[in-house]
Structure 1
Amino acid sequence: MEGKEEDVRLGANKYAERQPIGTAAQGAGDDKDYKEPPPAPLFEPGELKSWSFYRAGIAEFIATFLFLYITILTVMGVSKSNSKCATVGIQGIAWSFGGMIFALVYCTAGISGGHINPAVTFGLFLARKLSLTRAIFYMIMQCLGAICGAGVVKGFQQGLYMGNGGGANVVNNGYTKGDGLGAEIVGTFVLVYTVFSATDAKRNARDSHVPVVPSSIALQQFEIILAPLPIGFAVFLVHLATIPITGTGINPARSLGAAIIYNREHAWNDHWIFWVGPFIGAALAAMYHQVIIRAIPFKSRS
């Protein structure tokens, strides 16, 4: 591992799924042109000696820090106004979350895979796209980044921050805990399923015959630009739907960072929902994509 760059794609670590352009990857040709990569090992001690492993963790920390900083500031800007029409409103908050995910996944996809969310990391781990070692490291760095990002926002405007909920996720009045849990499960399912679909190497293999892309390098650049777009758009849409219910978590690091820095009792009452819901949603999305869509367990038996 030392001295070598790891080919880290969205949702994968060094186990890249790459298909050369120009192959007939549709229909009957799929089995010939596409080879399923081996699953990532559960433990990979060699990673701990690789600088790229720690570089990826730092990238996840910085990305989650920036994500919380921009999005919580946006929430505070909306909260401080007496008239929502004078601010960007709920739609602007949703765009802030979705737009930042789009930008940050684009920036970090080639370094860490651009997870920026423990639920995404968990789903990809269940699909054996990365090792347990890397998954735990990513989750720790994501949570630390989120805490620091929310902390900087509080440092800038402590009175406003503490007086307007600190961007912490809670189940809003008029909804039950079951409503909140269901919203988090379905919302995270949408996100993680989009991640799997946007980074599906077999889909890239099918599309590799398209003549408008002149080279494999151009194809790779096209994928790097295109994949973050549906992921960010999924985050935007889920926020539009669930901000009125839970403020939209779908990211345990985001929920934890805001809860720790805000640190009021009501922010912790329902906090378990913002871990249990996203992890269940991520697990269901991983199962659906791997078992139903890709039928990988059945292929391995044949």
Structure 2
Amino acid sequence: MAKDIEVGPGANAPKDYQDPPPAPLIDAEELTKWSLYRAVIAEFIATLLFLYITVLTVIGYSSQTDPDKNPDDCGGVGILGIAWAFGGMIFVLVYCTAGISGGHINPAVTLGLFLAQKVSLVRAMLYMMAQCLGAICGCGLVKAFQKSYYTKYGGGANYLHDGYNKGTGLGAEIIGTFVLVYTVFSATDPKRSARDSHVPVLAPLPIGFAVFMVHLATIPITGTGINPARSLGAAVIYGKKKTWDDQWIFWGGPFIGAPIAAFYHQFILRAGAIKALGSYRSNA
């Protein structure tokens, strides 16, 4: 197992990085601070903008490839363009909001960070509510501006595509969310920041690329959820039975994949289990 970087000789030399203290499970005092509500507002607006741009891209692509309007199957932005829209918006929005709320924009990311004691339960719950509400409002704006297109071309809603069973869809969502949340942990790791001072500035870039790559792989299967708020917002505004029949996949997959990623990074890569065992033995 690799040793932590040391700034001087000796086994007890101080580390050149500092892990933040664990967030309390419940922090009532946090509710009295404007910084919490500012962060919640940032999550709401970021998720609203995320859904507005990405759902418009999905609907635009469906319109551009409509055989009744355009016989060219290769017209429009294609799956590649849709993936770029999702990944690019995450890059932009994480960059904009990371210093305010941490730039979660996804209940699965919030869950993973909560389980790793990066955020309190109060903050995690408020973030998730803001994200879901923002997603609903973002899709609502799309429908308000382009109602006929929105209804005709599926509202950008996620559903399990023909030819795939529910197990395949659930597995795609689990693995896709694992990739995203694992990237979030790795890109924001204090140890990495100590080794490469430029990493905090570039942290949104690998996160955006993770979203982009996962979309390339799973758009043909589920349309790619990996974000329960994104799937919920589109389902609420579109409101068709098919989207609700498969909705559990877009919550179950991310809420399984995120804890696995958190455990893998914190207890395997960061050796949390070994450190806890060593502390227990020394105290004993």
TM-score of the aligned structures, taking structure 2 as reference length? 0.90
**2:24 pairs with 41, 46, 54, which one?**
41
**1:143 pairs with 132, 137, 157, which one?**
132
> How big is the shift at 1:34?
3.5
Query: How far apart, CA to CA, are the structure 1 residues paired with 2:11 and 2:228?
Result: 42
1:109–1:224: 8 Å Cα contact kept in structure 2? Answer: no
Instruction: Report what 1:287 is aligned to.
Output: 263
Query: How far apart, CA to CA, are the structure 1 residues paired with 2:163 and 2:187?
Result: 35
Query: How far apart, CA to CA, are the structure 2 residues paired with 1:29 and 1:198?
Result: 27
- 1:96-115 equivalences under 5 Å are 96-115=85-104
Query: How far apart, CA to CA, are the structure 1 residues paired with 2:213 and 2:49?
Result: 21
1:268 aligns to 2:244 (yes or no)? yes
Distance change (3 Å), C-alpha of 1:69 and 1:27: farther
Distance change (3 Å), C-alpha of 1:176 and 1:31: farther
2:19–2:190: 8 Å Cα contact kept in structure 1? Answer: no
Distance change (3 Å), C-alpha of 1:86 and 1:289: same
1:24–1:206: 8 Å Cα contact kept in structure 2? Answer: no
1:134 aligns to 2:146 (yes or no)? no
Query: Can you list the C-alpha shifts for 1:16-49, whole angstroms capped at 9, x where unaligned?
Result: xxxxxxx739997886333443211000011100
Bigger relative contact order, structure 1 or 2, given CA contacts below 8 A and separation 6+? 1
**1:247 pairs with 188, 198, 223, which one?**
223
1:85 is paired with a residue of what secondary structure? Answer: coil
> How big is the shift at 1:290?
0.5
Distance change (3 Å), C-alpha of 1:85 and 1:225: farther
Instruction: Report what 2:282 is aligned to.
Output: none
2:74 is paired with a residue of what secondary structure? Answer: helix
Instruction: Report what 2:189 is aligned to.
Output: 200
Q: Percent identity?
A: 69
1:92 aligns to 2:81 (yes or no)? yes
Length, aligned pairs only: 268
Query: How far apart, CA to CA, are the structure 2 residues paired with 1:56 and 1:100?
Result: 18
Query: How far apart, CA to CA, are the structure 1 residues paired with 2:10 and 2:201?
Result: 26
1:256 aligns to 2:232 (yes or no)? yes
RMSD of Structure 2 on Structure 1 (CA): 1.9
Query: How far apart, CA to CA, are the structure 2 residues paired with 1:31 and 1:262?
Result: 55
> How big is the shift at 1:163?
1.2
2:221 is paired with a residue of what secondary structure? Answer: helix
Query: How far apart, CA to CA, are the structure 2 residues paired with 1:161 and 1:262?
Result: 8
TM-score of the aligned structures, taking structure 1 as reference length? 0.85
Query: Can you list the C-alpha shifts for 1:268-289, whole angstroms capped at 9, x where unaligned?
Result: 0010000010010001000000
Gaps in structure 2 of 5+ consecutive residues = 1-5, 67-71, 280-284
1:230 aligns to 2:206 (yes or no)? yes
2:211 is paired with a residue of what secondary structure? Answer: helix
Which one-letter code corresponds to 1:111 in the other structure? I
> How big is the shift at 1:204?
1.2
Query: How far apart, CA to CA, are the structure 2 residues paired with 1:244 and 1:279?
Result: 21
